[in-house]
Structure formats: structure tokens, C-alpha cells
Amino acid sequence: MSVRFDGRVALVTGAGGGLGRSYALLLAQRGAKVVVNDLGGSKSGGGGDSRAADLVVQEIRASGGEAVPNYDSVEEGEKLVQSALNVYGRIDIVINNAGILRDKSFARLSEQDWDLVHRVHLRGAFKVSQAAWPHMKKINFGRIIMTSSVAGIFGNFGQANYSAAKLGLVGLSNTLAEEGARFGIHSNVIIPMAASRLTQDILPPEVFDALSPDHIAPIVAWLCHEDCEENGSIVEAAGGWAGRYRWQRSKGIVLTDQRTKMVSLENVKDGWEKVIDMSEHEYPDSTQGATMDVVARIQESMSSDPGHSSDEVSPLSAVGYTSKPVPFSYNFKDLIIYALGVGVSTKDKHGLRYLYENDEMFSALPTFGVIPAMSGLEDLVSGNIPGLDFHLANVLHGEQYMEILKPIPTSGRLENIFRIQDVLDKGSGMVLLIEVETRDENNELLMRNQNSIFVKGSGGFNGPRNSKHLTPVSTPPSRSPDKTLKHKTTVDQAALYRLSGDLNPLHIDPAFSAIGGFSSPILHGLCTYGIAVRHVIDGFCAGDPGAVREIKARFSKPVLPGQTVITEMWKDADKVLFSCQVQETGEKCLTGGWIRIQGFNNSKL
Ligand code: NAI
């Protein structure tokens, strides 16, 4: 099916020639109404002429499209946006493309050269995008393009002013991508290379001819389309080729002296090779991710004992470790607190079944089974297990599998035994595969959990990368989900969920979560797990929690309390496959999920 923009209103700045003209023509040809902005100045920003915009508008109209001209400078962003609102009543797409060049070697660059270039490129994009922002928010949709340049990424002789402004646009776009995601507003960067008056003196003639701006326009138009999920990306395009940039960072090294706790200049000199060594690297893709990794490394180095080398005992010697039985007692109140923690309400169809101990169907949610199984795991960070020597702050929950063999009683005294099935070496960290068997008072096996725990910064011990013990995640089918359910968590969801046992301050204390690089405390992954399984029970088990036999899912991204969890579900033989995303950001938070259901048949779909 052809890609169309019917009903959309696009503002293209600097569209009187070059790349902007191609963008405007293509969008209009595909049904968008276009505001063609250009003040028609010289390449260095002097003068002004309304003909540039008028000619493009005429071209569009001549081929049956809709367009209006605007001759204001992008520095007066609100006037450009007002043109769109006056004529078309809305604004969906902003392509910040206007630009000028005032190239000089750095020593000869005047303040005016600096200011003019910044005013058009960076300030102009800020002004236009900010004027459009509230209108995009109102319609819960927006696509913004910033135009950067390879000169911004790498620098270029004679372009100090231009390259600084162009990289500034990358920062601006990345922040708008973050702030806009929950309003359906996406912002991306295009790095074009095309034949235009700005490049005719720079590009060799044979290359110049192959680089028509028309090769860039479809890529930019796709980034502006409602079906394009790209947000916060930097895409380069030239002559029919397109690719994406990302940041790469070396593993680096903590240079702090273990004894003095200070960084000395000598430490820096001696460690420099490791600071800049890119042979081990990562690709941080958010402020949060980038900061979290660094904080974890600092904490790891602080927690290691200078007199003791932790690699004396390989983490592999932990494989097979089996704990003593760890007792766990609970009663109806624990079940109710857990159910409230995963968002059950007295207003739900089956709410009282989990919230009222005198309800005749009073039951445990199947995912309550993870709670006893977590109770023995503190031992992992006690330093008592040979080969395991790491800090709690470096631990992330990777995946969770559970099998329920008998109905979970509504109260009882259970015993857990955990066993380290495997220790995997993932380079940047290690994965501990831990099986927990939970038995009831008759010593009968009630459930089996498998926790996959990722420990940042503890890899590189020549261990295996994969394990035959790991219960695999699923691959969701490409068809649209058979059922979709959503649940809006409350701002106090994590405060409530933690009462079931996981008291990590990361989920409640803003100061602590800030150290971990999070903008606010995050919801427990297992809380989202509980919400997703409730969706499957409601969607496919007619509300019967007893039908659930096995559950598996991977924790991909955190959810913030107050956000909405959307669960997409597909029936697949005796299983329901599922994955969850955060409605406000569109990010997947739980992936590869599957649930095996007893007595599952087609009639339940
Ligand atoms: P161009 O000079 O043909 O187009 C720029 C347009 O912006 C001109 O029509 C100009 O009148 C207009 N303009 C300048 N100042 C303005 C203002 N204050 N308000 C409104 N309009 C204004 O150049 P080209 O090559 O099409 O460049 C488009 C964008 O792509 C620019 O931002 C440029 O820096 C960027 N770019 C282009 C590359 C290329 O290979 N052509 C490479 C990297 C970036």
C-alpha cells in the first residue's frame, strides 16, 4: 500500500530550494498540505525574496497538491506555525531544514558569523519546534526533523560555527524525543548529503550530479509518517543510501586509587591506554543507561577489597551451589497485599477473589509464587558463595520463569532451596541462573522458579555464553495480537508492591534512584510480570488463576509508577504468548513472554 499523508499538515523551513523543496514536493504529492517557508536569502543569509517559496508553491499546485508560502525567518518560529494554523487549522509535521553557511577558519571567524549561523540553524529550529509543540501535544501526534551534518558529528575545517550548531541540533532532537514520546511526538535527525547551492563548491562535479535531493526526500518523509516508530535517531542519507548513527563508548577504567580513594595524575597517565581502548565497548542509548553503567562501575570498584583479588576464585566454582532450606511463612494478608501491589481492585470483575479472605473463591494469584522464591536470594550477595563477589547495586533481574505444580495455598509455611544451575559469561557482565524449588508443609514440590540475574561488570572470566538450563523466551507472531489489555498503574504502585518483600530503595527513594541514573524510582519488574499474567488470566482463562501452569518473560525496560502497561497476547497451541509495552513511551518493558495453560482449547479464544 502506498505511503500517504492525507489529512496531515507539514511545515518545511527553507523549502524554497535544495533539500527543503524536495521534501515539500514529495509530502504534497503524497497528500499532505504543506507550508513552504523560505525567506529567499543568499547562501550566507543576506537579503530576502518571496519568489523562492512562491515558485515551489506554484509547482505543488500545478501538480494538484495543496500548499501555501511563508516568507518569515525561522527566527520568528511562531509566525511560521501560525501560517499553518491560519490556513489549515493544525500542524503535524515540522521539518527544520533552513540553513546558511558562513565558513571561515576558526581564527578569522567573527562573532557575527558565529551568531548568524546559530540563529538560523539552532535557534530557528528551537523557535519553530517550540511554537508547534503545544499544537502537536493537543492532537497527540507530531513528527519533527532536525537537520544536522557530518560536520556536526566530526567537525570540518572552516566550519566551527556551523558544526557547533549542527551538533546542537542533535542534542535538541534527542531531548524532544524523550519529552515528546508520551504525546506521540517523535523527533529525529537527518544528516543529508545532497547537491545544492550549499554544496556546489564543496562536492566534486561527478559526485554532485549523483546526489539529487530527491534521493533524501523519501527517507525524511518516512521519518515523518505516522507508521514510522523511529524516535531519537540520527539517520544519514545520500544518493539513495541511508544508515543510522549511534554512540559508542569504551569500557574505560576507574582510575581511583584503592588506598587513597583519589585519582592521581599518575593513575591517569598509567591508565590512559585503557581509557581510550575501544576493543571492549558499549553503545549507550540514553542518559539513564549511560549514567547507570558508570555508577555501577564506580560502585563495583568501591566494593572490591584492595587486599583481595576477586578473580582468585572463578565465578564458575559457584555452579552447583545449593542452599540450605530457607523458610517462608505467609497468610491471607500477604496474598492481599501482593494482589494490591499488582493492581487488583475491588472494582475488578474478579477483584474480591484476591482481596477478600472470606470470598468463597479466595485464591492466590499464580505470580505470588515468585515471592517465597525470592526470599532466599540475599545469600547471593553475602559473599559466602565461593566465586560470587559482587555488589547489589550491579544486579539486574533479567528473566523469570515459574512452574506451578500444585495450587498455591492461601496460607502456609513453605521451604525454598535454591541452586545455582549455571554462571554465564556475557562479556559486559555475568548471568546467574538460579533454580528455586519451593515445597509445602508435606514436603511436596509446590513450584519451581528460575531466576536469571544479570550482574553488571562481572564478565570476562572465560565462562560459557549460553546454558542448556535456561528456559527460552518466545518469539511473538507477526500477526496482530489476538487480545490486548491495558492497566494504568498508580503513582504509588511500587510503594505498595515493595511490601511484598523486595525493599530495594530503587523503587521508592528518588535520591537512590537518581544515583542509579533513573529520573525517578522505577516499578519492580515482577510487578509488571504480575500485571501481565493477570491480563492473560482475564483474557484467556475466564478469570481462573488455577489454570496457569508455567510462566516465562524477559524484563526489557523499566516502567515508572503511574504509567500504563499494555499487554499484547497471542494464542499458540497450549500457550498464550505475550509482550508488554509502556503506553506513554511506546517502549517494550516485558518481552518474549509465554504462559502455558492447563486444559487450553480453542473455544477459549
Ligand atoms: P539550500 O541553501 O538550497 O537551502 C537552504 C534554504 O534555507 C534556502 O532556500 C534559504 O533561503 C533558506 N533559509 C536560509 N535562512 C533562512 C531563514 N532564516 N529562514 C527561512 N529560510 C531560510 O541548501 P540545502 O543544501 O538544501 O540545505 C538544507 C539543509 O541541509 C541546511 O540546514 C544544511 O545545513 C543542511 N545540510 C545540507 C547538506 C547538503 O549536502 N546539501 C549536508 C549537510 C547538511
Check residue 340 and give its pLDDT: 98
Residue 178 CA to ligand 1 centre (angstroms)? 26
Check residue 381 and give its pLDDT: 67
Question: Which atom of ligand 1 lies at the shortest distance from residue 96's CA?
Answer: 32
Residue 100 CA to ligand 1 centre (angstroms)? 6
Task: Tell how far CA 131 is from the center of its chain.
Answer: 27
Radius of gyration of the chain from Cα atoms?
29
DSSP state of 104: B
**Distances 477 to 482, 551, 593 between C-alpha atoms, Å:** 10, 18, 12
Q: Which of 439, 402, 405, 191 is nearest to 328 (CA)?
A: 439
Beta bridge partner(s), residue 423: 432
* Residues with C-beta less than 6 Å from any ligand 1 atom: 13-14, 16-20, 37-41, 43, 45, 52, 73-75, 97-100, 120, 124, 147, 149, 192-194, 196-199
- Residue span(s) of the chain under CATH 3.10.129.10 come to 315-463+471-597
* pLDDT < 50 positions in the chain: 305-311, 602-605
Check residue 602 and give its pLDDT: 44
Q: Cα(134)–Cα(502) distance, rounded to whole angstroms?
A: 40
The CATH homologous superfamily to which domain 315-463+471-597 belongs is Hotdog Thioesterase (3.10.129.10)
Question: Which atom of ligand 1 lies at the shortest distance from residue 21's CA?
Answer: 26
Check residue 515 and give its pLDDT: 67
Check residue 311 and give its pLDDT: 46
Q: Ligand 1, atom 32: nearest CA belongs to which residue?
A: 99
Q: Ligand 1, atom 42: nearest CA belongs to which residue?
A: 193
Question: Which atom of ligand 1 lies at the shortest distance from residue 196's CA?
Answer: 25
- If DSSP states are collapsed to H, E and C, what string results for 25-49? HHHHHCCCEEEEECCCCCCCCCCCC
Q: Ligand 1, atom 11: nearest CA belongs to which residue?
A: 40
Q: Report, at the CATH architecture level, how domain 247-307 is classified.
A: Orthogonal Bundle (1.10)
Residue 101 CA to ligand 1 centre (angstroms)? 8
Residue 154 CA to ligand 1 centre (angstroms)? 19
Check residue 304 and give its pLDDT: 58
Q: Dihedrals φ, ψ of 116, to 5°?
A: -60, -45
The CATH homologous superfamily to which domain 9-245 belongs is NAD(P)-binding Rossmann-like Domain (3.40.50.720)
Reduce the DSSP state of residue 321 to 3 states and report it: coil
On whether the CB atoms of residues 373 and 447 are closer than 8 A, the answer is: yes
Residue 12 CA to ligand 1 centre (angstroms)? 11
Sequence letter at residue 203:
L
On whether the CB atoms of residues 372 and 408 are closer than 8 A, the answer is: no
The reply to whether 88 belongs to the active site is no
Check residue 307 and give its pLDDT: 40
pTM of the model: 0.60
Question: Which atom of ligand 1 lies at the shortest distance from residue 41's CA?
Answer: 11
Check residue 603 and give its pLDDT: 41
Sequence letter at residue 478:
S
Sequence letter at residue 99:
G
Catalytic residue among 23, 71, 88, 162: 162
On whether the CB atoms of residues 231 and 186 are closer than 8 A, the answer is: yes
Q: Ligand 1, atom 43: nearest CA belongs to which residue?
A: 149
- Residue span(s) of the chain under CATH 1.10.287.4290 come to 247-307
